[in-house]
Amino acid sequence: MKQVITTEKKPIKLWLDDIEPGAFEQVKNLANLPFVFSHVAVMPDAHQGYGMPIGGVMASEEAVIPNAVGVDIGCGMCAVQSSLSTLSTEQLKSILSEIRRTIPLGFKHHKKAQDQRLMPKLEGAISDLPVVSDQYQSALTQLGTLGGGNHFIEIQKGNDGHIWLMVHSGSRNLGFKVANYYNHLAGEMNRRMGSKIPSSWQLSFLPLSSAVAQAYLREMRYCVEFAYANRMLMIQRIKEAILAVVRPVTFGPIINIAHNYAALEEHYGKKVIVHRKGATRARAGEIGIIPGSQGTPSYIVKGKGSRESFESCAHGAGRKMGRKQAQRQLDLRQEKKRLDDQGIIHAVRSVGDLDEAAGAYKNIDQVIDSQLDLVEVLVELRPLAVIKG
């Protein structure tokens, strides 16, 4: 931990030396909520989001906040070690072509519904999930699709000598619909209740005792499972793409970790709702993934179970530039050269791609160094080929 701030109603514990002003204001807002538990934890990749900064961890006793989870519910990472030790440039290009053929990117969905058996199992009746029920048929075409923004597929070389595959994706339009629906209901409920939390904070909450809060938690959990199913199907198709180019290949177990969700957990002897928005759970011995930016390393890590971070760590490098700012300020030639010099098959083609260039992100090695009290690094993975949404 780098510093503790005690000027607000609850302490703020930061794992970074400097935090952008907008994100810091959001952290202070969290620390002054009437139902926040113990303290607010801020990971080293933190930057401004909607309501709650990306890289924030907050626990509550009596409420859940949809905006403290975000619109890409269940967004997270999957990584798999392969038995391969090397791939040629031509093999990589062939694999990428096959991946693009079978996995829709950006806003694209499958033209046909995917196998319904791959969808998460329902805990009860689908009528208990009104938004999921309404979006279910559409979600069948979103299963196994990457999405846009900072979502990616990478083929990497680990310092363990193995080729790895990695996917970063979430719950697609299903999670977006659920998040917006319940954030709107939370805003209406807070106005009716006469909540003293300013609407400008974008932190409308749902009292845990309310039926709508319980409905949100059910739908949120389904979206977390859908995001996992989405990544699992993509991992399967990436494996098939590799096997179409090179054989024999075996694959290790899938490492999966989400970084946008709220969950009931026990901390400091109390059952609380832990909100992780752009933060990864890191219980003692738990294996996780902290990805870098395009062209920088990613890391397989093992959690140390830090109480003070609510057993959490960073979810990635974290942005240091907004998307439009990156497109205005970064040098396209320089960013392409950075990747070309490393021999990476990359996705930076035009100025419009600079929002996902390495220069738009924090230094991943500094982010890792800032949280060595939270995680132990197991494997460093360097990118060989990148597909962006």
- The response to whether 151 counts as a known ligand-binding position is yes
Which helix (H) or strand (E) covers residue 96, if one does? helix 89-102
* Cα first-last separation, the chain: 34
Burial of 322 by CB count in 10 Å (0-12 exposed, 13-18 middle, 19+ buried)? middle
Burial of 115 by CB count in 10 Å (0-12 exposed, 13-18 middle, 19+ buried)? exposed
- The response to whether 317 counts as a known ligand-binding position is yes
Angle at the Cα of 291 from the Cα atoms of 288 and 295, rounded to 5 degrees: 155
CB within 8 Å of 97: residues ≥ 6 apart: none
Active site residue 315: yes
Nearest partner of 141 among 174, 99, 185, 93, judged by Cα: 174
Question: Can you read off the two tokens belonging to residue 149?
Answer: 């923004």
- The response to whether 110 counts as a known ligand-binding position is no
Annotated active-site residue in 109, 275, 315, 346: 315
R_g of the chain computed on alpha carbons: 20
- The response to whether 168 counts as a known ligand-binding position is yes
- The response to whether 318 counts as a known ligand-binding position is yes
- The response to whether 138 counts as a known ligand-binding position is no
- The response to whether 315 counts as a known ligand-binding position is yes
Q: How far apart are CA 43 and CA 280, in angstroms?
A: 10
Q: How far apart are CA 136 and CA 230, in angstroms?
A: 14
Q: Which residues are documented as binding site for GMP?
A: 150-154, 259-260, 298, 315-318, 388
The annotated binding site is made up of 72, 150-154, 168, 259-260, 298, 315-318, 388
Residues identified as active-site: 315
Which residues are known binding-site members for Mn(2+)? Answer: 72, 151, 168, 259
